[in-house]
Amino acid sequence: MDALIKNLKHTRNIEFPVGRNKNITNVKLNHNTVEAYPKPFIFYLVMKLLELVESLFLMFLGFDHFVSNGNGLNYWAHHPVRCDDSAVPLVFIHGIGVGLFQYQLFIYNLWKTQNRPIFLVELPYVSMRLSARVPTVEETVTEIEGMLEAHGFSSAHIVGHSWGTAVAAWMIKLSKFTVSSVLLDPIVFFAILPDLAFNFVHRNPGHNTKHARANEYIRHFSWHHNLLWPDELPVNHHIFAARDDMLFDGRAMEKYLESNEVNHTMFDLDHGTFLFMPSKQAQIMARIAKVCSDAEN
């Protein structure tokens, strides 16, 4: 630490006054006090109702619900009747919020446009649900691979949104199953910078106001695992990012992706806004189809 301070003083020509300012504290991403507040029982009843609506919607589309034996991974799977047996499945990993409920339009568009098996992974510990289990990075990758193997697949196209892009990054770096990836509102490229980390965990009003999610963000969010470098992306990939993203500087992200020759599309939107815009989703669906097709040819 002394060497770091000396180097900072030398390179920036800074002199720190002697003593300690008690009003300044460091931000320890995985060791800070968990600040969370309980919700009334009616809140969880409403979340359960939304989960029921989500389940009915997915069953209407022909998805089947599965809980893997031994590891507790919940997921939905759909195999189109008229589908090439050699088609590589698509795995979608959602972000923070109320689980798959907020992605109903997006899932419908996937179901409508992607003629291939589709898997929807559920992550209850970031979905405003009471969940004590937060699997490790390795456990999550193993569980997703086991899900695919249980259905006879040895490869997959990975699509992730927001927090789901972290799980997608784990699959990209640690799993041989991943043949392509499409990342939406990715949090994985700027994970090394303070803006994302602070806004994600500590900004007021923070996102960490629910016990289960606070436990995930502050105790189990593997920042070093979540970082993805451009050269780690599969050959077939595409990034959709927002210039007005509330979590980090979207325009800096655009310059970063351009300078590293990463295939990308920028929207003049905020984080997650495309979920409510059919025109943007149509653009995303076309790109997903192309990335999947290119990876298989």
Mean pLDDT of 275-290: 97
Residue 3 pLDDT level (bands cut at 50, 70, 90): confident
- Answer whether 236's CB lies under 8 Å from 179's CB: yes
Query: Is the model more confident about 222 or about 283?
Result: 283
215: pLDDT strictly greater than 60? no
Measure the CA–CA gap between 273 and 206, rounded to whole angstroms: 19
- Amino acid 213: pLDDT: 47
Domains in the chain: boundaries: 2-296
Measure the CA–CA gap between 198 and 166, rounded to whole angstroms: 17
Q: Which range has the worst mean pLDDT, 22-31, 42-51, 154-163, 212-221?
A: 212-221
Residue 191 pLDDT level (bands cut at 50, 70, 90): confident
Mean pLDDT of 162-189: 95
Give the model confidence (pLDDT) of 226-274 as tens digits: 889 999 999 999 999 999 998 888 999 999 999 999 999 999 999 999 9
2-296: in CATH 3.10.450.50:
no
- Amino acid 220: pLDDT: 54
φ, ψ dihedrals at 20, nearest 5°: -130, 135
Q: What is the SS3 assignment for the chain?
A: CHHHHHHHHHHHCCCCCCCCCCCCCCCCCCCCCCCCCCCCHHHHHHHHHHHHHHHHHHHHCCCEEEECCCCCCEEEEECCCCCCCCCCCEEEECCCCCHHHHHHHHHHHHHHHCCCCEEEECCHHHCCCCCCCCCCHHHHHHHHHHHHHHCCCCCEEEEEECHHHHHHHHHHHHCCCEEEEEEECCCCCCCCCHHHHHHHHCCCCCCCCCHHHHHHHHHCCCHHHHCCCHHHCCCCEEEEEECCCCCCCHHHHHHHHHHCCCCEEEECCCCCHHHHCHHHHHHHHHHHHHHHHHHHC
- Amino acid 246: pLDDT: 85
Measure the CA–CA gap between 286 and 48, rounded to whole angstroms: 33
Q: Which residue has the tokens 């090394």?
A: 192
Measure the CA–CA gap between 122 and 138, rounded to whole angstroms: 17
178: pLDDT strictly greater than 60? yes
Measure the CA–CA gap between 59 and 78, rounded to whole angstroms: 10
Query: What pTM, to 2 d.p., does this model score?
Result: 0.84
- Amino acid 135: pLDDT: 83
For all residues of the chain together, what is the average pLDDT?
86
Mean pLDDT of 142-153: 94
In terms of C-beta density within 10 A (0-12 exposed, 13-18 middle, 19 or more buried), how is residue 173 classed?
Answer: middle
DSSP strand pairing (118-121 vs 74-78): antiparallel
- Amino acid 26: pLDDT: 66
Give the model confidence (pLDDT) of 39-89 as tens digits: 788 988 898 899 999 999 999 999 999 986 655 689 999 999 888 888 999
Measure the CA–CA gap between 159 and 118, rounded to whole angstroms: 10
Whether the upstream peptide bond of residue 80 has omega within 30° of 0, thus cis, is no
